[in-house]
Each structure stands twice: as structure tokens, then as C-alpha cells.
Amino acid sequence: MQCDSYQGDWLKAPSDVLVIGLRDDWQTSAEIQSANEATGGMIARLIENEEASFKPLKVTQILQPQGIPTKLLVLIGLGSRDTSPTSIFYRGTAAALKSISVKQRSLVRMVGFHGSAIQIRASVAGAMAGCVGQDLFKKEKSQFQPDVIQWVGIDAQSVAMGTQIGQAINQTRRLVNLPPNYMYPETLVTETIAGLQGTGVEVEVWDKARLEKERCGALLGVALGSSKEPRLVIMKYLGADPNIPPTALVGKGVTFDSGGYSIKPTDGMLTMKCDMAGAATVVGIMTAAAKLRVKKNLVGVIGLVENLISGDAMKLGDVLTARNGKTIEIHNTDAEGRLVLADCLDVALQSKPDRIVDFATLTGACVVGLGIEISGLMSNNDVWQSEIKQCADECGEYTWPLPMHSFFSELIAGKVADIKNVGEGRYGGAITAAKFLEEFVQQCPWTHIDIAGPAFLDSAKPWCDAGATGTLVRTFVELFLKD
């Protein structure tokens, strides 16, 4: 799929599909009025008769419209010019492309997607994501990517940047959507290295022997039940003076989570290939940031394991020793992601970062509290947390802070070991998981992001196929693009 800037006469140049963004100011929009005049007033009549609408994500298709040399005209509602959030730009173009992806298209032309620099890049990225689904192994594909997408009136640099972000989102989605017999620690390492080729990112891989040498007892404990050996990957990107401390990105990479002896029910286990979405998010962010040559130093650390059951698997009541020396009582083998992250966070500290962020599909409790659209933010530093939330708001991705009061730490205090891997009872589960992680970041500014809700869709949306979404890749790429 190729994305290009187009500066020609879009009303006279032939296309397979012409997509026009429709806002509430359509009556004063030069582009809409030109298209309306060319079609003999058809667009105005459709709107007046409520057959087309500027309401967000409303898709209207007109086959072979009179006066425009296109096989299919698509109108996509973008809401209000003054108040539409960036999410409407991303989801609007995604919905439009998803609606036409039922067959192969040669040339799709996009008109009327004007806004801030972030909104324009979101539009391009959304179009790329909307026409890509989870049909990785279907003989008859469900969705087809157009050969070329042209963007009218958008400069080439903006199109190129949006394309890189869109590719990173789709890269993250593909890694998550691959089934667990294809995507396990070793193959995820292979995919990561392949995606980073030519970017200048330095990659270091720790195998089981190195993890044992590094005393990563928490991560290794999770991996005990699987025949697939664990891995830890360190990615380093230098976009600034090497003496400037990096930002560390840490990702949970449980490539399949059975729950261990605290076994999940079938319905809960079916989608657990998505439990490595945190690691895939880090890979996507690192890839896009490097290709866009952001002026930041970044370190990515991902811990990769399978959580399965065998005679060697960790048991309830076991005590593990993490890399930083803390001992951990295992009260629930399905609370495994925090064990993986514990050692990864400690490894990230050795790069002397000035701040850390981790991504993890960590708790169902966060989904219960915030729903499936919103990622939970938990932090030991209000400034860092606020910076993330502000950028997410600008990008139209949804996050919300949860409290981290000191008394939550009492709920993870151990009796046999220093700490235990779950809190007391059902309450505050997302927060007690974060308090557990806080034990492994020392005094470094750190924000934990629980993406359990928005990382994976159980059913399709108008703007995205079911499966992985690539949530927060855009937010962090845009954050790192800021000077």
C-alpha cells in the first residue's frame, strides 16, 4: 500500500474511490461545494434528505456518481470543524477505508482531511489501519488494501510521517494477531529484529542462559511451564546527544497466557495471544520513532514468555527472587505479567533513564473500572503521567489516571516473602498490580499503562476489525516527535 500527496485536479482525475470528509461547515467548504456542483447538487440533496450526514463516522457510498470520474464516491462524517477530536480524524478515515476494503481497489483519493499536524498524520495512519484486518490465514481475504492512497492538499512530508505511524500501528496489530503457535518468544524476537532492520536501532537479546546469569528469577518463574524458552530484548535508539538520559519503554510479552495453575476458563483463554500486546506496542513505537528520526534517546525492554502448565510450572505458594533481590510469594499464577515486568523494569534501570513507561495487558480489573476504550495510567510522578495524558488527549486516544496512595502497598505485603503478586480480595486490582511494579523502579519517574481494555477488540468496530488495535502507538510517537 503506497500513500502519496496529490496536488492535481482531483475532480477531473479518474479514481476507483473518492473519499470526501464531511463536516458541519459543509455549506462553506470549497471542496464540498465543488463536488456538489460537479454532481448537480447531489451531495446537498443527500444531506438535506438525511441520506448523508456529517455525524462522526457516518459512511455514505454513492456508486458511479454523475459528474465525477470515480467508480465510487464515499462521504465520511467528521463532525464539527471546531470541536472534532483527533480520534474522529483517525477513526473517520479508518471507517471510510474499512467500508471499501471488501474488494481490491487500485487508486483511492482522499479529500477534505485538513486539521492540525497531528490530525493530518492521524488521518493518514487511520486510513492505513482501517483496511487491514485479522484475516492473516484466510484463503479468501476479508479486507483488501488499496494499491495507492492519494491525499489531496496534504504535503508530502505529512503523508510520509503519517504513513510511518500507520505502518507501525499495523506492525503492532500483526504481532498481536498472529496465533500463539506462530508467535512465541523466539519468533517474536525474529519479527522484532526484522522490523528494525535499517533503522539504526541496536538490539540485544538475552536467552535463557543469560536470563539465569542475570538472576531474572521472576520472569524465569513464569516461563517454567513452557517448552518454549523465554527471551528478553533490549532495543537502543540514539536520536540525541548520547549523554542525554533515555526514556525507557518496557513491555509485557506473554505470548500466550493459560493462567498457569490458576487456569483461565475457555472463554477467557481464547484471546490470550493478545497478552503480548505491551511488548508489541513497544516494538511499534521504537520502529516508528527510529524511522522518523525523533530527536530523543530511547531504550525498549520487552520480556517474552509463555505462561503454561506442566510438572515444572510455578505453583501457588512458590517464592521467586526477582533481579533486584526482592522475594515474591506467588498467590495467583495468573498474575504473571507483573512478574515479567518486574525484571524488565530492573533491566531498564541499568540504562539510567530519566523516565520509564511500561505497557501491559495487565488486569481485568482495569477493564471493569474503565471499560474497553480507556487505558489506565498509574504513576509515581504526576508530571510524567500528565505529559502522557495530555499527548493522548491531543491524539484522540483515551487514558485515565488511577490513584496510587501509599496504603495500597499494604495490600501486597508478604508474610513469607517481601511482597506477594496479588492484593487482598477483589478490590483495587489494577492499582495493587501497579503498586507491585512500583517496587522495581526505585526513584525513577515511572508511569504504568494498563492497556487490557483497548488493546484488543472482541468484535469489529466501524473503524477497526476485531483483534488488535495498536492503541497508544500514535500517542507515544507524537510525544517523541515533540521538541
Catalytic residues: 264, 338
Task: Count other Cβ atoms within 10 Å, centred on residue 411.
Answer: 18
Helix (H) and strand (E) counts in the chain:
15, 19
Query: Using the 8-state DSSP alphabet, how is residue 246 labeled?
Result: P
Go through 263-291 and write b for each residue having 16 or more CB atoms within 10 A of its CB, e for each that does not: eeeeeeeebbbbbbbbbbbbbbbbbbbbb
**Computed from CA positions of residues 46, 147, 134, 91, in that sequence, does the dihedral angle turn out positive or negative?**
negative
All residues at 6 or more sequence positions from 193 whose CB lies less than 8 Å from its CB, including other chains: 203, 205
Name the strands in the sheet holding 148-152, side by side, starting at the edge strand that comes first in the sequence: 2-6, 148-152, 107-111, 15-23, 70-79, 59-63
Best CA proximity match to 462, nearest among 94, 169, 215, 171: 94
Residue 130 CA: distances (Å) to CA of 205, 301, 386, 474: 33, 29, 29, 15
Q: What distance in Å separates the CA atoms of residue 111 and residue 128, rounded to the nearest whole number?
A: 15
